A and B are shown apart, each in its own frame.
Chain A
Amino acid sequence: MSANKIKFLIAGFVIVSSFLFLAISGFKSENLVYFLTVDEVVKQKPSSNSIRVQGKILEGSLKKKIESMQIYFKILGEVNALPVTYKGVPPDLLENGFPVIAEGKINSKGTLVANNLMVACPSKFEEMKEKGDVMPEDHLRLMQKAKERRLKNSLK
């Protein structure tokens, strides 16, 4: 092999391995968000990693402190319920009994401090209905009525 070829091969190797190294080093825990069930979280109380939990909002647990833009609720698992707090503008469709996905870290008190709240896309409600789950349309209708009532009251 000519000297040139060796030069190029070495350069190529260096470039490719540095990219590879970059890619692999990206897989550290901080960049990963772990999916856990509510029950797993309550049992293990993982402290440092970002986690994502999915479940329905426990009936009656949704509290909003509107002035300070704080939201508090509990996510229901099979056995346990996990307290969640969130600060900021909430997404649509955040109501008691609705499915929600929360991402964030567990604080020392065992509460999930969420930095991201996601509600299932309404087309997922179709799936839920087919699975014999909660009937979202009733909830939506109830919610709409509640919102209309609130609107009417607020803009009187």
Chain B
Amino acid sequence: MFLVDLGRYSIFFALLLSLASIFFSFFGGFLKNNRLTKVGSNSAISVFVLVVTASCSLIYLLMIRDYRVKYVANHVNNSLESFYRFSAFWGGQEGSLMLWLLLLCLYCFLVIRQNQKRNLDLMPFVTGTLMITAFFFLFLLSFMTLPFDLNNVPPIDGKGLNPLLQDWGMVIHPPNLYLGYVGYVVPFSFCIAALITGKLDNDWIQTIRRWTLFAWFFNGTGILLGGAWAYKELGWGGYWAWDPVENASLMPWLTGTAFLHSIIIQEKRGMLKVWNVVLIILTYLLTIFGTFVTRSGILSSVHAFANSNFGWVFLVYLLIALFLSFVLVFVRLKKLKSEHELESFFSREAGFLLNNVVFVSITFAIFWGTMFPVVSELVEGIKVTVGPPFFDQVNVPIGMFLLLLLGAGPLMAWRITSTSQIKKSFIVPTIVGLLGTSILLFFEVHHFYGVLAISLSIFSICAIIIEFHKGANLVKERTKLNYFTCIWFLTMNNKRRFGGYIVHLGMAILFVGIAASSAYQVTEEVRLRPGESFHVGSVRMRYEGVKQEVSNSYRAVRAKLSVFIKGYQIGSVSPERRIYFTPPQPTTEAGIRRGFFSDVYAVFSDVDSGGAASFKFMVNPLLNWIWFGGIVFSLGAIVCFLPDRWSRRKGQIFTLKE
């Protein structure tokens, strides 16, 4: 039982050391005593080492299938492959909290390493704040949900992993999301440190830019991966259901996006300082809230872990953190005054301000929609759930503003954009956008928000491409290089700006995918005999027949359908109904034929002796543009993240004036 004891005591001592770190860091910071501060940061590093030790112990126990440990028995069984035994580390309640904690301590360690010679005034409080969050999770893992609890009678075989989760996508999704979630604690900690020390100039902003980008990137890709997995695995042909847990991962991303934009204004014009601290505090609180929602059972959700009884601890922590943070902001309000004023509606500042308002409004709407069931039950005793219609109805119109800003924002100048400038930069994208509208209407595509969304996206995509073109031409004038080389140098020498434009491009493409696949989806349910065909929208499905198949872990009935457009076969789909052996469970595997213009999606049931089956077909137009937009978004974020010195080789001539 050495490893169990090692794990237990590591967590126990980490709990104590985190308290020590908080104590010494804050005292050292207030008294400006370097020795105390050093003890604080060394304690934090020790916490990291101990948490790594505990994590490795748990992973090892999972790999060797030691069923004396409850967690191992609950999430692993004798037939589970090693890959899934490893991923069981974050598959259950206790383990996922451990992963959260592990990443947090890792980030704390990195931040300490990165700031040994700078931000010396802020660092004690940064370390202290990071350790407060760590203490919270260590507290949960020590008293509420213990990973190293033992079974009274160790079972012969474990419960294993739900077959629905035995999929690489599902395995990657939580760590991906956590890399993001936990990342937000770093900029939050710097913000708190800045508020405490009163050093509210741009130092803390510049230090946390890349950290925020990093967290935001993984948060965003985590959401997309979750959607892609749900689409493939859950059999209802959708990728987003406004489920409370989905919303919980989206909200910090929204405020995080607002924050990323807003800090640009603080750097350039010293404005929106209050917005910035409020946004990052909100992002942190939403992150903790998200972790809470997944576990508390307070909201009914398809995602939720088994209901736990320690949700109240999260709630208490959230309320304390909320109260203390806003007291700090209030106390420092004078130091958060803007250095300049807003001069015109048609300025980048106004665009960013509108951006903030839009993102916070959407977050507010989603939060309220998600929490309304709880409030309604408390206040009126009526149990309700807020369905997708609410979220769609509220968020779609607001989202239209976002689509417009994606393109219009980059076209605005700082302080004020002259009327002639506006005319020059808006005219081509507007014409192209209107062209797109007329084409859609010509093809009798009638859906107000669908057409509006696609038109605005076309406008934005056009505006961004023109920005690249104008910039590339400027570079070409000065260097006479090949056009595409110019685009490369342009981007690499102005990474923040053009990386941001690439992200905008990705988001616009993604929105087109969302708009088209929502507004123009075609669904049909029908019973077919082998050989029969059926039309779904412009696609024809011909049912070929069923086959029986067996694998190591399941037996299946697999149906095959050929897909035709205008008489040409464009592919086939093979939906399945599987029955897994351990634990005995049936699943539905959708058959998907993915394409540039649309996805064809099929599930079936009730096969009879003649091979006839009940089918549900869906044609989702432009669905893959969502994932493609996500890839472009990721590339753009990476460009923004790259180090600045990569461009210094070529000198200043390619750096555009803002």
Decide: A69 and B527 in contact? CB cutoff 8 A. yes
Q: A31, A50, A122: which has the most chain B beta carbons within 10 Å?
A: A31
Decide: B397 and A66 in contact? CB cutoff 8 A. no
Please count how many residues in chain B sit with their CB below 8 Å of the partner chain's CB atoms.
61
Decide: A26 and B365 in contact? CB cutoff 8 A. yes
| Stretch touching chain B among A11-19, A75-83, A105-113 | A11-19
Per-position 1/0 for A1-45, Cβ under 8 A of B? 000110110011001100110110011001111111000000000
- Are A22 and B394 also in contact (CB < 8 A) when A31-B389, A127-B306 are? yes
Question: Which of chain A's residues have a CB closer than 8 A to the CB of B342?
Answer: 4, 8
Question: Which of chain A's residues have a CB closer than 8 A to the CB of B398?
Answer: 19, 22
Q: How far is the CA of A113 from the CA of B607 in the complex (A)?
A: 24
Residues of B within 8 A of A (CB): 159, 162, 164, 302, 305-307, 341-343, 345, 353-354, 357-358, 361, 364-365, 368-369, 372, 382-387, 389-391, 393-394, 397-398, 525-527, 546, 548, 555, 557, 577, 579, 583-588, 603-609, 611-612, 614-616
**13 additional contacts (CB under 8 A) given A32-B385, A122-B585:** A19-B357, A22-B365, A33-B384, A35-B383, A52-B385, A66-B606, A69-B526, A89-B605, A121-B164, A122-B162, A123-B162, A140-B585, A144-B584
Within the complex, the shortest CB–CB distance from B219 to chain A, in Å, comes to 23
Decide: B385 and A15 in contact? CB cutoff 8 A. no
Question: Which of chain A's residues have a CB closer than 8 A to the CB of B616?
Answer: 88-89
Q: 21 A-B contacts, Cβ less than 8 Å apart?
A: A4-B342, A4-B343, A19-B365, A22-B365, A23-B365, A26-B390, A26-B393, A31-B393, A32-B390, A33-B386, A33-B387, A34-B383, A52-B385, A88-B614, A89-B604, A92-B588, A127-B306, A137-B584, A143-B584, A144-B586, A148-B555
Closest chain B residue, CB of each to CB of A69: B614
Per-position 1/0 for A35-77, Cβ under 8 A of B? 1100000000000001010000000000010111100000000
Question: Which of chain B's residues have a CB closer than 8 A to the CB of A118?
Answer: 302
Within the complex, the shortest CB–CB distance from A62 to chain B, in Å, comes to 13
Within the complex, the shortest CB–CB distance from A3 to chain B, in Å, comes to 12
- Are A140 and B584 also in contact (CB < 8 A) when A22-B397, A66-B527 are? yes
Residues of A in contact with B, size category? 35 or more
Per-position 1/0 for A94-105, Cβ under 8 A of B? 000000000000
Within the complex, the shortest CB–CB distance from A88 to chain B, in Å, comes to 5
Question: Which of chain B's residues have a CB closer than 8 A to the CB of A148?
Answer: 555, 579
7 interchain residue pairs of minimum CB distance: A35-B383, A31-B390, A19-B361, A89-B616, A26-B394, A23-B365, A31-B389
Within the complex, the shortest CB–CB distance from A12 to chain B, in Å, comes to 7
Question: Which of chain A's residues have a CB closer than 8 A to the CB of B577?
Answer: 92
Within the complex, the shortest CB–CB distance from B153 to chain A, in Å, comes to 16
Question: Which of chain A's residues have a CB closer than 8 A to the CB of B584?
Answer: 137, 140-141, 143-144
Decide: A35 and B525 in contact? CB cutoff 8 A. no
Closest chain A residue, CB of each to CB of B609: A154
Q: How far is the CA of A151 from the CA of B606 in the complex (A)?
A: 10
Q: How far is the CA of A126 from the CA of B159 in the complex (A)?
A: 10
Interface of B is mostly: mixed
Closest chain B residue, CB of each to CB of A139: B584
Question: Which of chain B's residues have a CB closer than 8 A to the CB of A12?
Answer: 353, 357
Q: How far is the CA of A26 from the CA of B392 in the complex (A)?
A: 9
Within the complex, the shortest CB–CB distance from A4 to chain B, in Å, comes to 7
Decide: B614 and A66 in contact? CB cutoff 8 A. yes
Closest chain B residue, CB of each to CB of A50: B387
Decide: B357 and A4 in contact? CB cutoff 8 A. no
Within the complex, the shortest CB–CB distance from A93 to chain B, in Å, comes to 7
Q: How far is the CA of A30 from the CA of B603 in the complex (A)?
A: 29
Question: Which of chain B's residues have a CB closer than 8 A to the CB of A137?
Answer: 583-584
- Are A154 and B385 also in contact (CB < 8 A) when A67-B527, A69-B525 are? no
Q: B164, B353, B393, B527: which has the most chain A beta carbons within 10 Å?
A: B393
Q: How far is the CA of A123 from the CA of B294 in the complex (A)?
A: 14
Question: Which of chain B's residues have a CB closer than 8 A to the CB of A68?
Answer: 527
Question: Which of chain A's residues have a CB closer than 8 A to the CB of B358?
Answer: 19
Q: How far is the CA of A4 from the CA of B611 in the complex (A)?
A: 73
Q: How far is the CA of A149 from the CA of B372 in the complex (A)?
A: 46
Closest chain A residue, CB of each to CB of B391: A26
Closest chain B residue, CB of each to CB of A147: B579
Residues of A within 8 A of B (CB): 4-5, 7-8, 11-12, 15-16, 19-20, 22-23, 26-27, 30-36, 50, 52, 64, 66-69, 87-93, 118, 121-124, 126-127, 137, 140-141, 143-144, 147-148, 151, 153-156
Q: How far is the CA of A16 from the CA of B386 in the complex (A)?
A: 23
Within the complex, the shortest CB–CB distance from B460 to chain A, in Å, comes to 20
Question: Which of chain B's residues have a CB closer than 8 A to the CB of A151?
Answer: 548, 555, 557
Q: How far is the CA of A96 from the CA of B614 in the complex (A)?
A: 20
Q: How far is the CA of A147 from the CA of B584 in the complex (A)?
A: 12
Decide: B585 and A31 in contact? CB cutoff 8 A. no
Q: Identify which of A23, A67, A89 contacts B368 (C-beta below 8 A).
A: A23
Q: Identify which of A88, A90, A127, A147 contacts B307 (C-beta below 8 A).
A: A127
Decide: B387 and A126 in contact? CB cutoff 8 A. no
Decide: B579 and A144 in contact? CB cutoff 8 A. yes
- Are A5 and B387 also in contact (CB < 8 A) when A66-B606, A89-B605 are? no
Q: How far is the CA of A155 from the CA of B394 in the complex (A)?
A: 50
Within the complex, the shortest CB–CB distance from B357 to chain A, in Å, comes to 6
Within the complex, the shortest CB–CB distance from A113 to chain B, in Å, comes to 15
Decide: A92 and B603 in contact? CB cutoff 8 A. no
Question: Which of chain A's residues have a CB closer than 8 A to the CB of B585?
Answer: 93, 122, 140
Decide: A155 and B548 in contact? CB cutoff 8 A. yes
Within the complex, the shortest CB–CB distance from A35 to chain B, in Å, comes to 3
Q: How far is the CA of A27 from the CA of B588 in the complex (A)?
A: 34
Question: Which of chain B's residues have a CB closer than 8 A to the CB of A91?
Answer: 588
Question: Which of chain A's residues have a CB closer than 8 A to the CB of B365?
Answer: 19, 22-23, 26
Q: How far is the CA of A64 from the CA of B607 in the complex (A)?
A: 12
Within the complex, the shortest CB–CB distance from B416 to chain A, in Å, comes to 11
Closest chain B residue, CB of each to CB of A32: B384
Q: How far is the CA of A123 from the CA of B74 in the complex (A)?
A: 11
Within the complex, the shortest CB–CB distance from B129 to chain A, in Å, comes to 31
Decide: A92 and B306 in contact? CB cutoff 8 A. no
- Are A147 and B586 also in contact (CB < 8 A) when A4-B343, A32-B384, A122-B162 are? yes
Decide: B587 and A92 in contact? CB cutoff 8 A. yes
Question: Which of chain B's residues have a CB closer than 8 A to the CB of A50?
Answer: 387
Closest chain B residue, CB of each to CB of A127: B306
Closest chain B residue, CB of each to CB of A64: B606
Decide: A89 and B579 in contact? CB cutoff 8 A. no
Q: A11, A12, A92, A156: which has the most chain B beta carbons within 10 Å?
A: A92
Decide: A16 and B383 in contact? CB cutoff 8 A. no
Within the complex, the shortest CB–CB distance from A9 to chain B, in Å, comes to 10
Q: How far is the CA of A144 from the CA of B358 in the complex (A)?
A: 51
Within the complex, the shortest CB–CB distance from A29 to chain B, in Å, comes to 9
Decide: A30 and B579 in contact? CB cutoff 8 A. no
Question: Which of chain B's residues have a CB closer than 8 A to the CB of A30?
Answer: 389
Within the complex, the shortest CB–CB distance from A91 to chain B, in Å, comes to 8
Question: Which of chain A's residues have a CB closer than 8 A to the CB of B302?
Answer: 118, 121
Q: How far is the CA of A154 from the CA of B604 in the complex (A)?
A: 16
Question: Which of chain B's residues have a CB closer than 8 A to the CB of A67?
Answer: 527
Within the complex, the shortest CB–CB distance from B565 to chain A, in Å, comes to 24
Within the complex, the shortest CB–CB distance from B403 to chain A, in Å, comes to 15
Decide: A31 and B606 in contact? CB cutoff 8 A. no
Q: How far is the CA of A154 from the CA of B302 in the complex (A)?
A: 33
Q: How far is the CA of A154 from the CA of B583 in the complex (A)?
A: 24
